[in-house]
Each structure stands twice: as structure tokens, then as C-alpha cells.
Amino acid sequence: MSEKNLMLPGNPRYQPKSLQEYFGYDNLYRNVGRVEIANLKVMAEIGLMPQETAELLTSEVVKNILALTTTQIEETERRVTKHDIRAWVHEASKLVSPELARWLHVMLTSYDALDTARTLQFLQAHYQVVQPAVVRVMRILVGLVRTHADTLQVGRTHGQHALPITVGFWLATLLYRIFYNYQKMQLHASELVGKISGAVGACNAQVGLGALEKCGALSYEERVLEKLGLKPAPISTQILPPDPLAYYLYSCAMLSASLAQLGRDCRNLMRTEINEVAEKFVPGQSGSSTMAHKRNPVNFENLEGMWIRTKNEFGKVMDTLMSEHQRDLTGSSVARDFPTIIVNLVQQLNTLLREDQGATFLENLSFNKEACVQNFGLSRHVLLSEPLYIAIQMAGYTGDGHDLVNHTLVPRAQLSGKLLAEVATEYAQESTVFAEAWNNIPADVVALLYKPELYTGLAVRKALQIAALVTKKLD
């Protein structure tokens, strides 16, 4: 493996080793070999290829075919064939006997092999790398949600203090987005298909040259793809319908966006003046090239930056949703970049799962409860404007309750630093209309207006519900 070129698509800085087996440059034709070998075996099984020829496809021959590197094949393509799959056939023919070589690629067109191999690559990477990593991230987040389900935090909308929530509730909103997109990704992975349908998709050679009539209950296409663990597209041209892979990659991009939201939120909560979240600062780490006091949110920034890269990569997927008639070559070079979306996603997941002293980065996050309380206190006196205005309206106030709270009571609270409930009690001495409504408010509601910390609604319950939902589904 060390002698191979295992460069992944995209920026050389971002090269998750776990993906090299599937998208590393010199491994790109391994699945083409698998498709071609499955095709040879089916021709033997239905009696199209002589049995004595089929016996030449030994395990050693299969091993050698699967070991063909992209470097070898593309050198032959440049030097000899000027065609990628004919270059593969040229190189594979050197590894088998002449009797077997003449059956290579028979009944297939280039994209029977290439499109089906691409599906295999994405499925292998999905089930072996992407899925386990996302599940691990979600399980860690479930633990954080439960731990901080009742940790008080001020909610923020438009960058401003809004209503009381909890840290667990905030994390649960992120967890659910990740979980939702994970489910979509699982669905669309299960819908990825292959094709063995020939040069225009109508299985012309299989029908015209007698292969189809030898197949029995399963079609020739179904037989080959069954050996690869795939279902066939219901109908195809020279290429697979682009939609199943596009939907899968879209779900991966959406998952990337939900991870970026985690990065965006945490990056802002790490601001010096907020300080509610902190990344672990490992020994030897530098926060700045010159300002030694800094602790930059570099990992959270990476989460968000990877989404920006992915968003723009997905534009390439959309640009290949059309071809001219049964196929043209304009999308061929573009599709070679599609794995970059997976590379970026795995880079995000690896950021969260990178281990230090036995714990992942995500597990090492710290939540500053004191800062949460302190920040909550900045607006504590005015945070309950919502229940106050609703309560007086429900209690029979005949004016505009929202206008009264907005333009009269809140300014007084801001000026004095008193709770809105205290200001309302004082205002009742000035306005008999307001006093009548204020005195009609139930005692338990008035008590709540004096305790902003308790006005968290269903935050705790919702947080624990989402944690339970995700755990149940994953289990």
C-alpha cells in the first residue's frame, strides 16, 4: 500500500486515511475489476463461456486483476488506447491466459463497469466509514444533551437575548438535525443501484447474441449485479440515471451543513465576551502566531469551512444531471470530483472524533455554567416580556399589551435594573386599567414572572425526548 499513490480527490491538506481504500487514486479501478469479474462468472454460469475457460479465473488471477492500479491504467490510456476502459482491458489481459482474455469486457460497455464501480465505491465508503462515524458522533451528543438537559442558558435570536432555554435543548436541536440528515443519507444509500445494460441501456448485445435467453428467472443484468450486492436501475441509458447518487450526495451535503451549524454555534459561544463553550487546548497548541493569550476556535471553524467547500462541490453534481440523449462525455471528468463531498464530510466527523488522552474532541468540550448564568443575568430583568404581555392580555387588559410592555415597562426595567414583574407592580399604582388586569393574573403566573430561570418551557423535556428518540433508532 505504501508504494501506491493514495491521494484522495480535493485539497491535499484534507486526506482522511479511512477513505484511501475506496477513493485513493491507485484504488479507483479495483471495483471496475470486481464488476468485470462478476461478468465473467455469469457468462460461465449460463454456459456462454466454456467451462474450461472459466476455470482459468483462479483466485490468484482475481487477486492480480483487483490489484491493477490507476497509475498503470492511465499510463496505458495516455500511451496506447486513449480510452480508459480499453486501457483496463489491455492491462488485465496481461494477467490472464489468452483464452480468458478474449472474454474480458464482453457484453459490457464502459459505464456498465464505471458507473457500477462508482456505486460500489460510495456504498463501501458509506457503510465502512461514514455511517459508523456519524453514529458515534450522535451517541456522544446524546450524552451531552442528557448531561446538560437542565443547564440554564439564554436563548438567542437575531444575535440578541431571547427567552430562557437550556444547553441540552440547544444541543438537542443540533442533534436532531444531524439525525434527520443521517436518516436521509441511509435511505438514499439504500437506493443506490448499478447497471449492466449495454451501450444505450437496452441490453442490445445480451438480447441479440443470445445471453439473455440463457439466464432463466433472473435477467443477465440482475445476475451480474447480484454478485456485487446491488440492484439494477429499472431503466438506464449508457449511464446510470444520475438521480440516486445525486440524492445520496445531497443528503451528505445536508449532513455537512448540520455539522457546520454545530461549528457556527460553538464558535460564537467561544467568543471572549460570551465564553459559554470552550475547546480543549492541548499541550503545545498555539492560538495565534503572535497573540499568545488567544485560544482560537480552530476546530469549529474547520467544521464550518468544510461545509462551504462541500456546498460548492455539490454544484458539480447538479451540473451533471443532464446529458445529451443516451450519453455524452461532459460529465465524466466532473464526476471524478464527487468523492470530495465524502472527503469533506469525513474530515468534519474526524474533527469531532479526534482523540486526545482517551476522549474525543467532542467529549472534551467544556460548558461554562458560570458564564451561562452570568450571560443570562445580563437580560434577566427583561427576559419575561413575552409571558408578561400575554398574561395581561389574558387577564382582560383592554389596551395593547405588547405595546405597553415594549414601550413603557421594558424601558423602565432597563433603566432601573428591576425585574419586569417589579416594574409592572409599580405601574399598577399609576394605571387603574392596567391594575385591574394585573390583579387578575393567577398567583402562580405572577410567581413565575419573578423567577425568569423557571421560564424554560419544555426545554428539558424536549431535550430528553430527542436524546431518547435518537438512542432508540440507533439501537
Could you tell me the maximum CA-CA distance found in the chain, to the nearest angstrom? 105
CATH of the domain at 89: 1.10.275.10
In a domain, 398, yes or no: yes
In a domain, 216, yes or no: no
pLDDT in tens, 404-425: 999 999 999 999 999 999 999 9
Q: What is the pTM of this model?
A: 0.94
How far is Cα 56 from Cα 292, in angstroms, rounded to an integer? 67
The secondary element (H helix, E strand) that includes residue 374 is helix 369-379
pLDDT for the residue numbered 290: 74
SS3 133: helix
In a domain, 169, yes or no: yes
pLDDT for the residue numbered 179: 98
Determine what percent of the chain is predicted with pLDDT higher than 90.
94
pLDDT for the residue numbered 1: 45
Query: 92 and 46 in one domain?
Result: yes
Query: 251 and 148 in one domain?
Result: yes
Query: 253 and 126 in one domain?
Result: yes
Query: 172 and 90 in one domain?
Result: no
Mean pLDDT for the chain? 95
- Split into its structural domains, the chain has a count of 3
Place of cell 480527490: 9
pLDDT in tens, 194-252: 999 999 999 999 999 999 999 999 999 999 999 999 999 999 999 999 999 999 999 99
In a domain, 423, yes or no: yes
Q: Is the dihedral of CA 10, 15, 20, 26 positive or negative?
A: positive
Using the predicted structure, report yes or no on whether residue 434 has a pLDDT greater than 60: yes
pLDDT in tens, 442-466: 999 999 999 999 999 999 999 999 9
pLDDT for the residue numbered 3: 86
pLDDT for the residue numbered 178: 98
Cell of 27: 484504488
Residue 296 pLDDT grade (very low, low, confident, very high; cuts 50, 70, 90):
confident
In a domain, 39, yes or no: yes
Residue pair 237/201 in contact (Cβ under 8 Å)? The answer is yes
Query: 314 and 284 in one domain?
Result: yes
Tell me the C-alpha to C-alpha distance, in Å, between residue 271 and each of 148, 172, 279, 290.
20, 21, 11, 19
In a domain, 133, yes or no: yes
Query: 129 and 26 in one domain?
Result: no
pLDDT in tens, 325-380: 999 989 999 999 999 999 999 999 999 999 988 899 999 999 999 999 999 999 99
The full DSSP string for 143-202 is: HHHHHTTT-EEEEEETTEEEEEEEHHHHHHHHHHHHHHHHHHHHHHHHT--B----SSSS
Q: In 46-166, which ranges are continuous DSSP H helix? A: 51-54, 59-66, 70-76, 84-93, 98-101, 110-125, 131-147
In a domain, 357, yes or no: yes
Query: 164 and 293 in one domain?
Result: yes
Residue 202 CB partners (closer than 8 Å, separation 6+): none
Rg (CA), the chain: 31
Q: Tell which residue, 331, 316, 344, 326, has the closest CA to residue 255.
A: 344
CATH of the domain at 181: 1.20.200.10
In a domain, 450, yes or no: yes
What range defines the domain where residue 390 resides?
A: 384-454
339-353 vs 243-269: helix crossing angle, rounded to 10 = 30
The full DSSP string for 357-373 is: TTEETTTT-EE-HHHHH
Residue 135 CB partners (closer than 8 Å, separation 6+): 182, 474
pLDDT for the residue numbered 279: 82
